[in-house]
Amino acid sequence: MKFQRIAFSASDAPAAQDALALLEARYDHVAPEEADVIVALGGDGFMLETLHKRIDAGKPIYGMHRGSIGFLMNNYDEEDLQERLAAAKPAKLHPLRMLAKDIHGSEHEALAINEVSLLRESHQTAKLRVRVDGVVRIEELICDGILVSTPAGSTAYNLSAHGPIIPIGANLLALTPISAFRPRRWRGALLPQSAKVAFEINEADKRPVSAVADFTEIRDVTEVHVTEDSKRALVLLFDPEHNLEERILKEQFLP
């Protein structure tokens, strides 16, 4: 791939702002709306923000690490940027769509690139009924919460909750409990990417639960539906020697 028009975007971190000034002084650049590719400078949090902001723009995003965590970023280097972009390998991601209903009957929609998570709001555990494709798989899960993760998000919160790491091309979603109390031995499930997952909150008034799709939180939900939005595709660009598929594979062999 060859990109003629480059746009730069940076987080507020001093290192990212310094890199932005250097790159804009060195390379011709345009506004994001006019660009063929967006170069994002920061950490994984900023990359997620950029992906959400440009989710319908159809422009590939190439990240360079100028933040804290850089799993979704390439190494930072001011040299040979156009050559690196031309040699970069694409990774296609599909977000999750969350539809949540709250105790007032209002419905809320949000997209998640990493995961949709349900979390208890009080000192009491949540009680959830879990459905997959309309079939009740767990009548009552007593827990701190549960999440549905994409492959891209499987090394983030999902991994911290002891969920499985999923290769990008596996066409799977992870369903992972957070501190399950009953059934105590249930550790989660791998689902096909076409799965329709639904959660019903038992005793929602007594045991309040929030639903979070990446940055969007809905409080006091009564039911939550999660599906993959296959019509939306986000493209990340990675250097060939350090592509996303290889990074996820390496994570499975870390000591």
Q: What is the dihedral of CA 221, 227, 228, 229, to 10 degrees?
A: -80
Residue 137, helix vs strand vs coil: strand
Question: How do the residues of the chain divide into helix, strand and coil, expressed in percent and rounded to 5?
Answer: 20, 40, 40
- Do 217 and 118 touch, CB atoms closer than 8 A? no
- Do 73 and 65 touch, CB atoms closer than 8 A? yes
Name the catalytic one among 44, 144, 205, 239: 44
44 assigned to active site: yes
Cα angle 171, 140, 95 (rounded to 5 degrees) comes to 25
- Hey, what long-range contacts does 201-206 have (CB within 8 A, 24 or more apart)? 201/118, 201/126, 201/127, 201/128, 202/127, 202/128, 202/129, 202/140, 203/127, 204/103, 205/103, 206/124
CA–chain centroid gap for 191, Å, is 17
Active site residues: 44
